[in-house]
Chain A
Amino acid sequence: MTARTTRFLQQWLVFAGLVAVWELATRAARAPFFPPPSQIARAMYQQWLSGPASRLFLTDDVFDHVFPSIGRMLGGWAGATVVGVALGVLLGRSAVAMDFVGPLLAFGRAIPPPTLVPVFLVLFSLGTPMQLATIVFGTVWPIVLNTVDGVRAVDKVKVDTARAFRIQGPQWLFGVVLPSALPKIFAGLRVSLSLALILMVISELVGTTNGIGYQMIYAQRQFELPAMWSGIVLLGVLGYVFNTLLLAVERRALAWQPVGNHAQATGG
């Protein structure tokens, strides 16, 4: 058995064991609010994976609720990435900009993003624009702050080297500044990705007629507790999958880094 498989088994054995214990406990307790995992799994299967083979067994629910949710989350996050990196580069490369807007950023970041849902509801009414606004606003801060940090910390010797070879303009920005800042930027992206998932659900709990969050609140009101739980599990799965994908992208993009040298996120 390779070290990799051992590690894999180690990680998932505890997980599987806990699920088994939970199964036994919930069956024994018969508490209506805590359906056993097997029942949740069956609910998940029926809700999302019992569709026709021509659509990869995906049900209408997936197309009507899950995909729109994922779309909003990734769309909002992508928007925040573009805005956040651009803003971060501008602020970070300016000698004085942060002196002026630093407190503003700190203040903006301190506002708990879910509290802005009512504001955006008034501004955009019910629907996707409101949700995108919530996600972008909530996830942009860690990206801005990490980018500012990253582009400010370009190594002095690299700055001198670039100047000595008269590297300037786009080559300076894309060839030196952004690659230097990339580990920091990725740290920000990871923080904001998990925020994007949270904000997607919260905005759907109040402001839509479709999406995973909407389905969950609907199931809860109908006392379909297994369906509510399956939404929770699905969100966990999505969070795990997206984070894993982002880590894989990061590992590729930062393959040039010596091993075991990962930047920590600041702010978020």
Chain B
Amino acid sequence: MPTMLEVTDLGHRYAAKDGVYTAIDGLSFTVGSGELVCIVGPSGCGKSTLLRSVSGLLRPTTGQVRLHGNLVSGVPADLAVVFQDYSRSLFPWLSVQRNVEFPLRRALGRAERRERARQALEQVGLTGAAGKYPWQLSGGMQQRVAIARALAYRPALLLMDEPFASVDAQTRFELEDLLLRVRREQDTTVLLVTHDIDESVYLGDRVLVLSKSPARVVADLTVDLPAERDQITTRESERFVAMRAEVARLLHSPPAEVAAPARERAGAVVGE
């Protein structure tokens, strides 16, 4: 499996009132082509900073990100992002169809745009809602629109920032299965950030566990569950339960060799 994304020694620091705040520090990992990798970490550990750095929206203070071997500086062309807050990420003045078409305007003609949007909306099961405005849809449906928009863009790498954190549990299950299905259909590489342990194990081919802020990778686990997953049988399987316990344990008490430097930095404010 060729490497799609390579993150090396990534770090980001902000200037804060009382010194320098280190959001992430020395993060290194890779994502192979076609993989679905979940990043799970405690709340406020810098997951979003990590995703913004990977997407090129944010220039990291240290380290580098390479996509297909090319250094990322600015947002790469073949990358799409699905944000947590669908209601703010969608453009409310555009219909669902036009929201999906909007990023394609630069590159494609009208007919082709329309066809791609139609396909993407069909993939997420929203064919009937093409003419509606986002606010007329439920939260789950809005996030489907955002996913359709990302799919229609045909990115090599799809980044998802807590994409299902703002929908109810039932909808979340539906959207998780939707993601698994479309990424199989389209063979997309996905990097998904979540704070939900179960979700990371259920969705991922691999799970990267982050420490508290400043975030570092404390474990890189391969999820050895069958590729076909099911909300009920997978979640009750012994392997799933064991894995989620392992991730939970890593989150709550990171292994000693990694924990030591992490604890040193606890509080995360250095250099007063």
Partner-B contacts on A (CB < 8 A): 155-158, 160-161, 163-167, 171, 175-176, 179, 182, 256-258
Contacts and interface: CB of A to CB of B under 8 A. Distances in A.
A206 to B, nearest CB: 43
A158 B91 contact: yes
Contacts of A155: 88
Main secondary structure of the interface of A (DSSP, over half): helix
Contacts of A157: 83, 85, 88-89
B79 interface: yes
B85 to A, nearest CB: 5
A241 B57 CA distance: 48
B102 A158 contact: no
A4 B91 CA distance: 32
Prevailing SS type, chain B contact patch: loop
A165 B133 CA distance: 20
A78 B57 CA distance: 39
Given A156-B88, A157-B85, A158-B89, 14 more contacts: A160-B52, A160-B57, A161-B81, A161-B83, A163-B57, A164-B55, A165-B80, A165-B103, A171-B105, A175-B105, A176-B91, A256-B93, A257-B135, A258-B92
A164 B85 contact: no
B93 A179 contact: yes
A167 B88 contact: no
Interface in B215-249: none
Contacts of B153: 165
Interface string B34-78: 000000000000000000100101000000000000000001010
Give 10 nearest A-B pairs by CB, closest first: A165-B103, A157-B88, A164-B81, A256-B93, A179-B93, A258-B135, A161-B89, A157-B89, A256-B133, A155-B88
A182 B52 CA distance: 28
A167 B81 CA distance: 13
B110 interface: no
Contacts of B55: 164
B191 to A, nearest CB: 13
B92 A257 contact: yes
Interface residues on B, range: 20 to 34
Contact of A171 (B79, B81, B85, B106): B106
A167 B135 CA distance: 23
Contacts, number: 54
A161 B55 CA distance: 11
B88 A166 contact: no
Given A160-B57, A171-B105, A258-B135, A166 B93 contact: no
Given A166-B77, A167-B102, A258-B135, A160 B93 contact: no
Contacts of A166: 75, 77, 103, 106
Interface in B167-195: none
A47 B137 CA distance: 55
22 contacts: A155-B88, A156-B88, A157-B85, A157-B88, A158-B89, A158-B91, A160-B83, A161-B89, A164-B55, A164-B57, A164-B79, A164-B81, A165-B80, A167-B103, A171-B105, A175-B102, A176-B91, A179-B91, A256-B93, A256-B133, A256-B135, A257-B92
Interface string B100-132: 001101100000000000000000000000000
Contacts of A156: 88
B139 to A, nearest CB: 14
Contacts of A158: 88-89, 91
A65 to B, nearest CB: 41
Nearest to B92: A256
A157 B83 CA distance: 8
Nearest to A159: B57
Contacts of A165: 80, 102-103, 153
Contacts of A160: 52, 57, 81, 83, 89
B75 A164 contact: yes
A149 B136 CA distance: 27
Contacts of A182: 93
